[in-house]
Amino acid sequence: MSQKYSLSVSSQFERLAEIADFVADAACACGLNEDQVCDAQMAVDEACTNVIEHAYRGKPDGTIHIVCERRGKEFLVTIQDFGARFDPNKVQPPKTGDPLSKRRIGGLGLFFMRKLMDRVEFDFSSGPGNRLTMAKKIKR
């Protein structure tokens, strides 16, 4: 039986540190190594920042629900919000090779999530808001 770790927080940037601690504890308990814990922590930080900025547009009274679990050889994180729909296909990836004069400021959050996790999937079929699932293969 896999254990689930869950946390519900309000949509405020001030809660990001608490989210990071929660993810670190859960990822560690699920068997991720130290580097992988940092990867998962950052991916969730970026995802929740997007939720606060885009889904809730900075409104502090939204809810973010985070569930972490180990499923087989994967660490899974599900992040549910009840804000505006977020279409990841509309976000242009940053051109990380561009010189300063051409670098756009933005698009980095999703870029990091995809870089740090093995799977990043948005699901809009289950009611209001956004449901994001990210997975990382557990290496020891």
Partner 1 sequence: MEPEIRIIAPQGRLDAAGAQPLEVELKQRIAAGETRLIVDFQETRYIGSNGLRVLLAALKQAQEQGGALKLCGLIARLKEIFVMAGFDRVFEIFETREDAEKSFRN
Assess 93 for contact with partner 1 (CB under 8 A): no
Among 1, 61, 72, 100, binds partner 1 (CB under 8 A): 100
Assess 106 for contact with partner 1 (CB under 8 A): yes
Assess 49 for contact with partner 1 (CB under 8 A): yes
Q: What is the largest CA-CA distance in the chain?
A: 53
Among 5, 108, 131, 138, binds partner 1 (CB under 8 A): 108
- Contacts (CB under 8 A) with partner 1, residues 9-38: 13-14, 16-17, 20, 38
- Contacts (CB under 8 A) with partner 1, residues 53-72: 53
Dihedral sign for Cα atoms in the order 31, 32, 33, 37: negative
Q: Which residues contact 79 (CB under 8 A, 6 or more apart)?
A: 44, 47, 48, 51, 64, 65, 66, 130, 131, 132, 133, 134
Chain residues in the site for partner 1 (CB under 8 A)? 13-14, 16-17, 20, 38, 41-42, 45-46, 49, 52-53, 94-100, 103, 105-106, 108-109, 111-112, 115
